[in-house]
Structure 1
Amino acid sequence: MTSRSDTVMFVILLIASTFTQGLTIVSYGKKFITAFPENVGYFYPYNSFRGLRVTTLHSGTSFTVFYNGGQTTESSLQGGKTVFVSFPNTFEVHQLNYSSYSIRITSDNDIVVHSFSQTNIGTATIPEKSVQTHVVQPITNLGTDYLIPSLNHSDLIQTFSGSPAPYWSQRYGSFKLIIINAEDTENTVTIFRNISGSVQEEKIKISSYQLIQLQANASLFKVKSSHKVAVILTHPCLENTASCKCNMIVNQILPTEFQGQNFVVPYIPGITQSLFLITSNDKSTSLFHSNVQLQPNPSGLLSLSDQTKSQYVNASGNVSLKLISPGLFIEVIPENMFAACYLLQVYSDVKNALVIAETGSKTNVHNQNSPVTNAAWTEITGTKYSSAIIPLTEQYTFIWHPSSKIAVYILENTGTTVYGGPAIPINTQPDEFGCVVIPGQFEIRNEPLNWTESLGHCTSLQKHLACPTREYNQMDLANTVNTTEDEEAWIGLRRSLMTTDWYWQRQTPSTTSLPSSSVDYVHWADGQPLGSLKGLCASLSLDQDDEFKWKSAKCCEKKRPVCYKPPIYFYVELLYQVVYIQL
């Protein structure tokens, strides 16, 4: 007797959530490493705060934080839960040279890690705040080759204030660079400096998970390592001398592979002057706006004449682009790294999201479960995009688009300080129902069934018949099936017996039911669909030479069903736990 496993074969096909073509990036993972750069809070130990927000993407998650020989674990957390892990000021890296104050986070499921530092240094009634946040990149996003922005601290201050920089000791007269060994092995790191036109190299050894802090003046331009490292550019107090604002700077530098050529530069409310800094392997790379090459000032920075709106710039080669103002470093998201869904975590009372979306579909931008309706959109000249400032009311939210990729920045204002940066990209592939954290899964049954039997078969597996309702869904299905078989397979498209209109049928168990929906996208073969008397159901060609086109067919015919397990979607729980590490 032939067993069921012999007669019924299943082909499992997983849609990767990151879709790694191009330079896409997501910021979740299972392993992270970071450190807290020195803030002015080092000198105000009783009026400063620093911590990590760890957000879970899946229920049942446990994670562990390792710090200077100690560790703490949080277990069995719900999906969408955020845990706040607080650290004392002694964990700030305030000395040059080697240090053991790296912080590692490991998890059994995907998580997001956000770093926060704040210091109140004014009076009790009018506090001056030095605030900075950044997304801690998972180790999967780290690399061994980094380009370092060549910044001269004194020139930068003078550029913005129009007057010479105030006296600074050697310690605070330059930026700092923290290099963290991300792996459990000795790491050889090479530092490249350009001194009087001559490239000089310095090799250093960093032990497992150890870090080193260096002065990063304008001569330091590149870091290469034998194993993965995290690289953080920082300054404890980048001052705007005109208004006496002292803002901490933290910028986690991405490896050179995460670069682009086309950028939509966000408009930052509250910032009256800002400049660009580009880093590239090719020193001859230029930046253009409206086909006009931007000319650098004596400090090597570039500017746009109109800074009251978002604008489009492009480079002649791959670059990273930073938007700089006193106390503000924003990594501009390249167009090829736009994503479909972003997590936003904010800290201040005045908080906004700046969203860049395709003009034709800007009304489909969602904040959690609802379309955004309170946004004043402005078209960006010479592009297909529009931008809008969206007020935020919650500390935690997510913004997503069902059919196209967008860019999202977080902008906060403490009253004395404007800070922010890119939101946390969770998923790069759009989905019509929300923000995907576990991708969908296709399954093809080898045994043919009629359409009704196929629908029931998929339902019994907690799935539904595949429904490529958008072009990108069809492309995903074609890429995963990718066969040359001269066969057809059932999909979840059929005609209404009452009206003969086509509709998508997503019949699943009631706990995971999805609504049936109208048909906006089709991929019919030539001459299809046939009249309703010749076919009330739809099948998909399994032959790539036929471009996986659809055909109408009689529902009683026997064909292989293509089942689809819907993705798991992200949600945000608005309450969070607070964990204090006691040393």
Structure 2
Amino acid sequence: MTLAPLLFLLLTTQYPESTVTIAVDNSGKNFIVAFPENIAYYHPDISANKLKITSLYPNTVVTIQNNIYAEDVQTLNNGVDFNEDGTLELTKAEFSNSTYRISSNHDILIYAINDKSNSVQTALITPIEKLGTEYAVPPVPVIAGTTEPVGEASTYITERGPFRLIIINADQPNVVTITGTEEKTVPLNPYELTQVWVREKDAISGVTAELPVAVYFGHPCAVRHNCTCGMLFTPLLPAKPDTLTYIIPPELTAATDTVILASEQAALEIKPVSPDSLSMEVSGPAVLYRPGLLLNLIPEQEFGSCYVLEFMAEVDGRALIVVKWRRSWTNDGTVFGHSAPLVSATADFRGCLLSAEVLEIGEVADGWRESLGYCTNKSLDLISMSEADLQSQISKKLSLVLESIAATEVWIGMRRESKTGEWYWVNNDLVNATNWAPEEPGTPQEGNCAMMTLGAEFGWKDEDCCKLAHPVCYKPPMLFKI
């Protein structure tokens, strides 16, 4: 069977002012990564692990460091991918410094590919600044030949070994507490990690740390089918105290042994899923399990609007825009994958936002020329709106805050040319779509500057340029260009 990754997306069109919880995007400037043991560290096949780095801005300088190999520095343009070989694979050691540190002068996205002898897992890496200090540990799934029969676990037989937690520290000394039958405190040096067996008798339910850490959960070689085993790992997401609704894609529930691993207020529960289950409410994080796949579910309260589609070069890629999960098949049909990198949670008709537009009603009421200077002094522009889509978007955003705006009329960045009487935008855009109110504009004697009425249709009219009014100041967004 040909390798074929499939990326799931779930998009929304919410504005920032809405009550929907805005998802945190996956980009950042500093990352810490480790490659878990795959099958067995002594396996004769060589690992083909990689870090896939995507730059979002031009002239992005990326530095990759570890404790063995020389520092690697790359300069990338926006939309450019770079693959870094990840040859440092963990063993069974309790403590290790086999970590990769990635830093950049601009935001980047990273996902890791763990690949050895048809045992493949991918993981979206969270930047250090967005890691958490508290994690709920999901229950261990029931896997015949690995976790079942109970009592036959052995640290000497890879596929029969316990599940593991890998706790990776960032750039400061840290103290980690592992909650279970007995509380365990572990000090960690900068860029050091610890591996912890997740055994039934220990009843591990949570990880807390004084400073942010990354936490991975999984198994180096969990039994899949036909007496084969393969890597099964996922980075955990920080704990979520609220009850959230998780969307479950039907295609992933086709396997009869698909379950949701829920950590609800320190209570661990394995929840069965049927093909008819499209959603589930969980008071905490939720991880979907099926043979070969551990997948962090994304609550609908954190859906976004722009994602980067990443595919492995050696496979045939497909995209299904349903929910924001990535899925692939290995040669034996096993599913693996990770969530798609979120770049922006805010919808915009122009594309994928790296930084949102700035829209501000000026505090000072003045003439049109003075209002132009007012916006310029704030490093903004008196707004120009040559496109109908932009006019609509600005009207919707202003309508959400009308009650807090004392003004009823505002200056916009349009006026007549003194010699010809033609209207023009101050940013030199062509005058295409307009939104003149009925019987507007009038003659030059009635006014040479454009004013917008707040409310209803947000219509425009010509007005005396010396009339006092508040300006609409604006800065366009920065877009991710491919």
TM-score > 0.5 by shorter chain: yes
Q: Following the alignment from structure 2 to structure 1, what is the Cα–Cα distance between the partners of residues 319 and 431?
A: 31
Partner of 2:61: 62
Partner of 1:29: 28
**Inter-CA distance 68–480: structure 2 relative to 1 (3 Å threshold):** farther
Select 1:246's aligned residue among 229, 233, 237: 229
Deviation per CA, 1:283-324: give whole Å up to 9, x if none. Answer: 39xxxxxxxxxxxxxxx42223326xxx43232x52212211
Does the 8 A contact of 2:162 with 2:197 survive in 1?
A: yes
Q: Following the alignment from structure 1 to structure 2, what is the Cα–Cα distance between the partners of residues 268 and 465?
A: 46
Partner of 2:409: 488
Q: Following the alignment from structure 2 to structure 1, what is the Cα–Cα distance between the partners of residues 324 and 211?
A: 31
Greater mean deviation of Cα atoms: 99-108 or 473-482: 473-482
Partner of 2:328: 412
TM-score, length-scaled by structure 1: 0.66
Does the 8 A contact of 1:491 with 1:562 survive in 2?
A: yes
Partner of 1:175: 163
Select 1:438's aligned residue among 341, 355, 362: 355
Q: Following the alignment from structure 1 to structure 2, what is the Cα–Cα distance between the partners of residues 568 and 83?
A: 22
Does the 8 A contact of 1:441 with 1:567 survive in 2?
A: yes
Q: Secondary structure at the match of 1:336?
A: helix
Q: Secondary structure at the match of 1:349?
A: coil
Q: Count matched residues.
A: 441
Greater mean deviation of Cα atoms: 424-433 or 200-209: 200-209
Q: Following the alignment from structure 2 to structure 1, what is the Cα–Cα distance between the partners of residues 382 and 461?
A: 22
Q: Secondary structure at the match of 2:285?
A: strand
Q: Secondary structure at the match of 2:295?
A: strand
Q: Following the alignment from structure 2 to structure 1, what is the Cα–Cα distance between the partners of residues 222 and 431?
A: 53
Select 1:564's aligned residue among 467, 474, 480: 474
Select 1:151's aligned residue among 125, 140, 146: 140
Alpha-carbon offset, residue 188 of structure 1:
1.3
Partner of 1:532: 440
Alpha-carbon offset, residue 433 of structure 1:
1.2
**Inter-CA distance 116–562: structure 2 relative to 1 (3 Å threshold):** same
Does the 8 A contact of 2:49 with 2:113 survive in 1?
A: yes
Gaps of 5+ in 2: 1-14, 416-423
Partner of 1:553: 461
Partner of 1:423: 340
Select 1:266's aligned residue among 234, 245, 249: 249
**Inter-CA distance 507–63: structure 2 relative to 1 (3 Å threshold):** same
Q: Secondary structure at the match of 1:42?
A: coil
Does the 8 A contact of 2:178 with 2:185 survive in 1?
A: yes
Alpha-carbon offset, residue 449 of structure 1:
4.8
RMSD (CA atoms): 4.1
Alpha-carbon offset, residue 568 of structure 1:
2.1
Q: Following the alignment from structure 2 to structure 1, what is the Cα–Cα distance between the partners of residues 321 and 294?
A: 18
Alpha-carbon offset, residue 183 of structure 1:
3.3
**Inter-CA distance 517–82: structure 2 relative to 1 (3 Å threshold):** farther
Deviation per CA, 1:512-560: give whole Å up to 9, x if none. Answer: x6994587xxxxxxxx95543679955255xxxxx79845432444444
AA of the residue aligned to 2:190: S
Q: Following the alignment from structure 2 to structure 1, what is the Cα–Cα distance between the partners of residues 350 and 296?
A: 29
Partner of 1:322: 287
**Inter-CA distance 96–115: structure 2 relative to 1 (3 Å threshold):** same
**Inter-CA distance 138–425: structure 2 relative to 1 (3 Å threshold):** same
**Inter-CA distance 110–556: structure 2 relative to 1 (3 Å threshold):** same
Does the 8 A contact of 2:111 with 2:124 survive in 1?
A: yes
AA of the residue aligned to 2:134: D
**1:56-135 paired onto structure 2 within 5 Å:** 56-68=55-67, 72-88=71-87, 91-120=88-117, 129-135=118-124
Does the 8 A contact of 1:465 with 1:490 survive in 2?
A: no
Alpha-carbon offset, residue 140 of structure 1:
2.1
**1:476-515 paired onto structure 2 within 5 Å:** 476=397, 484-486=405-407, 488-491=409-412, 508=427
Partner of 2:305: 340
Does the 8 A contact of 1:328 with 1:418 survive in 2?
A: yes
**1:181-580 paired onto structure 2 within 5 Å:** 181-184=169-172, 186-194=173-181, 200-218=182-200, 219-241=203-225, 243-257=226-240, 261-268=244-251, 272-273=255-256, 274-281=258-265, 283=267, 300-306=269-275, 311-315=277-281, 318-347=283-312, 348-356=314-322, 407-416=323-332, 417-442=334-359, 448-450=366-368, 464-465=383-384, 469=390, 473-474=394-395, 476=397, 484-486=405-407, 488-491=409-412, 508=427, 516-517=432-433, 529=437, 531-532=439-440, 537-539=450-452, 541=454, 550=458, 552-557=460-465, 558=467, 559-572=469-482
Does the 8 A contact of 1:465 with 1:563 survive in 2?
A: no
**Inter-CA distance 18–540: structure 2 relative to 1 (3 Å threshold):** closer
Does the 8 A contact of 1:463 with 1:566 survive in 2?
A: no
TM-score, length-scaled by structure 2: 0.78
Q: Secondary structure at the match of 1:224?
A: strand
Does the 8 A contact of 1:193 with 1:220 survive in 2?
A: yes
**Inter-CA distance 104–517: structure 2 relative to 1 (3 Å threshold):** farther
**Inter-CA distance 151–482: structure 2 relative to 1 (3 Å threshold):** same
Q: Following the alignment from structure 1 to structure 2, what is the Cα–Cα distance between the partners of residues 33 and 480?
A: 41
Q: Secondary structure at the match of 1:96?
A: coil
Q: Following the alignment from structure 1 to structure 2, what is the Cα–Cα distance between the partners of residues 106 and 215?
A: 30
**Inter-CA distance 20–248: structure 2 relative to 1 (3 Å threshold):** farther
Structure with bigger RCO (C-alpha 8 Å, 6+ apart): 2
Q: Secondary structure at the match of 2:301?
A: helix
Alpha-carbon offset, residue 483 of structure 1:
6.1
- Report percent identity of matched pairs: 26
Q: Following the alignment from structure 2 to structure 1, what is the Cα–Cα distance between the partners of residues 430 and 272?
A: 49
**Inter-CA distance 439–282: structure 2 relative to 1 (3 Å threshold):** same
Alpha-carbon offset, residue 329 of structure 1:
0.9
Q: Following the alignment from structure 1 to structure 2, what is the Cα–Cα distance between the partners of residues 113 and 464?
A: 36
Alpha-carbon offset, residue 432 of structure 1:
0.5
Q: Secondary structure at the match of 2:140?
A: coil
Gaps of 5+ in 1: 1-15, 121-128, 195-199, 285-299, 357-406, 495-504, 520-527, 542-546, 573-583
Does the 8 A contact of 2:437 with 2:460 survive in 1?
A: yes
Q: Following the alignment from structure 1 to structure 2, what is the Cα–Cα distance between the partners of residues 482 and 71?
A: 59
Q: Secondary structure at the match of 1:232?
A: strand
Q: Secondary structure at the match of 2:41?
A: helix
Greater mean deviation of Cα atoms: 436-445 or 60-69: 436-445
Q: Following the alignment from structure 1 to structure 2, what is the Cα–Cα distance between the partners of residues 259 and 425?
A: 21
